[in-house]
Amino acid sequence: MVSFGHMLLIIFHRVLIGTAIVFGFGFSVWELLTFRRTGAMENLLVGVAAAVLSGLFAYYLKNLKRFVSY
């Protein structure tokens, strides 16, 4: 049986990861728009990396039960 404190921790973890996903995709869009305006390759690389990491976090959140047993 799962304790109440454990479930609160899982809920907090979901909220925290969800926030990271939203801000990560937002940062990615911002970097890609900056790349479009300036043409600087570092903005493209950071934007793509942020999008990939946010996608991985989204996969993790969707499959959280596989990674964390509760």
Residue pair 50/31 in contact by the 8 Å Cβ criterion: yes
Asked if 43 and 30 touch (Cβ cutoff 8 Å), the reply is no
Q: For 19-66, how does the pLDDT look when each residue is reduced to its tens digit (9 = 90+)?
A: 999 999 999 999 999 999 999 999 999 999 999 999 999 999 999 988
With a cut of 70, say whether residue 68 has pLDDT above it. yes
Please state the pTM of the whole predicted model.
0.86
Residue 1: what pLDDT? 62
Distance from C-alpha of 30 to C-alpha of 12, rounded to nearest angstrom: 27
Distance CA 56, CA 28 (A): 14
Predicted local confidence at residue 47, as pLDDT: 98
The whole-number pLDDT of residue 57 equals 97
Burial of 28 (0-12, 13-18, 19+ CB in 10 A): buried
* In the chain, domain spans: 18-67
